[in-house]
A and B are shown apart, each in its own frame.
Chain A
Amino acid sequence: MHIHPLDTFQPRESVVHELDARVKLVTALLLIIATALTPDGAWIAYILIWLLILAIVFASRLGVIPVLRRSLIALPFTLAALPILFSTPGDALLVIPMFSRRLALSGAGLVRFSSILLKSWFSVQVAVVLTGSTSFPLLLQAMRSLRMPKVLVAVAGFTYRYIFVIADETMRLMRARSARSAAYNGKGGRSVLWRASVTGNMAGSMFLRSLERSERIYAAMVSRGYNGEIRSLSAPELGVSDVLLCLPVVAALVLIQVMARLWL
């Protein structure tokens, strides 16, 4: 099976891969919600949650290191939460002199910031395992079963189908631009404004090509009898064993929530 380098699905032989996509989707969402519900500073609870997630990662045979590496993707956004360190009222742990002022890092701020960081990181790991172990078409099918509007599912399916085609074409366009971006002696490039307008032209060009492509696709669909109604084969029966497999996970989550609250 040829998988595009951009696609995140990694086929493996694992229990997690075999699980029904609906079960996986719901479990993943429950995991993320539970993580979000866990109070700040409940470190033991965090460790337990992480162990649970790592167990799932292990079971999925996706490899702990690759999953952790992919999960770092949300890291840049943590800068948004940085101010929490300094603006949460509390006893100052550390005072950093800066210019004529003092930046005071409060203990409470540190707890809150770390909690946000960890919880976010755990959530991304869950998402990575979900997408790594479930092909997108199956995910869409799962969402359809969970009552997502079928037009939306159909649109997303088309997007998935053509995302790599159009992305590749866009990359080739940029590659051709690089190939003609030459300078004889030292600098080239003209002005930022010019480069931006060339980029805009490329966007316009890609739009027209995509539009025309969609019209060809529509013609092909109509030629095969399409009349606007979305029909798909019904999803396979939900296996009892699949549900049973994720019950322990749910139970563990509930337990962790209770413990986190009792211990605080």
Chain B
Amino acid sequence: MLLSSILPTPAPMHIPDGFLSLTVSVVCWVLGAAGVGIALWRSGEELGERQVPLMGVLAAFIFAAQMLNFTVAGGTSGHLIGGALAAILLGPWGAILTMSTVVGIQALLFQDGGLIVMGANILNLAIIAPLVGYGIFRGVTALIRNRRWSILAAGIVASWFSVVVSAIAAAIQLAFSGTSPLGVALPAMAGVHALIAVGEALITTGALSFILAVRPDLLAESESRAKGWGWALTGLLIAVSITLFAPLASPNPDGLERVAEDQGFMAAALDAPYRLIADYVLPGVSNDAVATILAGAIGALVVAGIAFLVARARHRRSHS
């Protein structure tokens, strides 16, 4: 029963103190507190007196689940953050509550994430991630008829997006704080997390598959279709608005070009392909951020397509 020293979650998304400006921190605190407050209220209404022990222990589960890993290649491993999984299993409010508790404890107890910037970390990991995950999950399950296949495919897509969108949100916060120029932060964060998110998607699907087999009642459809569409819309809205919000975070939309002219190699290298896309797609409008988003969207569609095929293959195999 002995543990050698374990590092907290390795996901590079817990922002430490000092990386966000105080203004950004305060705004995120306000948004985060509001989200948690609503979740407290709504989950309290749904669960009544069960709320405290249930949410408390399940938050401990999320924390422990983030320790699970599988070897990818050499020294790298895949992990789970759990925003989407929490939302799928506990509903959006339960997910916000448990994930915020996890983020709070990670910051307070393990210095994984700062104290002043905790509002931002809560916003990204405990509010945006679960809401995007839940919305996409509801949306996809509403689209696909077959129950098992729909849950698995929805799980893949929802968890992938939950990680990537919350990474984009973090990048925006960094950009607004002037810590990292958007032109670098956004592709970097989104790119790195697009890969990490694959691990998330695989583990989430494995978990859903297990629960679907052993306790399918936990994944039973409890809410009406109409509400389902409402959530799907919410999730999508959040995901889209965050990605579209990005350009606003760049203090100078043409800043990327200016930097490239001056000195930045990295910025210049990144600039070229985006300029290419922008010129082709929207001739005359050299909006790098839009190009970034488009590139990201294409990538996302490719991943989603693969996800559908994988889920379909697994479904077929398990039925043969």
Interface residues of A (CB under 8 A from B): 5-8, 28-29, 32-33, 35-37, 70-71, 73-74, 76-77, 80-81, 83-84, 86-87, 89, 92, 98-99, 101-104, 106, 116-117, 119-124, 127-128, 131, 136, 139, 149, 151-152, 154-163, 165-172, 174, 189, 192-193, 195-208, 210-211, 213-215, 217-218, 221-222, 226-228, 230
Contacts and interface: CB of A to CB of B under 8 A. Distances in A.
Given A101-B269, A159-B56, A73 B61 contact: no
A68 B60 CA distance: 28
B218 to A, nearest CB: 8
Nearest to B258: A89
A167 B81 CA distance: 15
Contact of A98 (B16, B49, B205, B265): B265
Given A136-B109, A169-B64, A203 B80 contact: yes
A230 B16 CA distance: 32
Given A7-B109, A136-B109, A87 B40 contact: no
Contact of A203 (B85, B180, B259): B85
B223 interface: no
Given A74-B111, A86-B263, A228-B48, A202 B15 contact: no
B72 interface: yes
6 contacts: A70-B111, A160-B105, A174-B69, A192-B73, A207-B61, A228-B48
A36 B19 CA distance: 9
Interface in B258-276: 258-259, 262-269
Pick from B80, B264, B267, B269 the residue with the most CB of A within 10 Å: B264
Interface of B: 1-3, 5-8, 12, 14-19, 21-22, 25, 36-37, 40, 44, 48-61, 63-65, 67-73, 78, 80, 85, 89, 97, 101-102, 104-105, 107-112, 114-116, 174, 179-181, 184-185, 188-189, 199, 202-211, 214-215, 218, 258-259, 262-269
A263 B5 CA distance: 44
Contacts of A230: 52
Given A29-B115, A103-B264, A207 B211 contact: yes
A200 B37 CA distance: 31
Nearest to B18: A120
A158 B52 contact: yes
Given A204-B211, A226-B49, A156 B105 contact: yes
A120 B109 contact: no
B101 A156 contact: yes
Contacts of B265: 86, 98-99, 101-103
Nearest to B263: A104
Nearest to A86: B264
A203 B179 CA distance: 36
B272 to A, nearest CB: 11
A36 B22 contact: yes
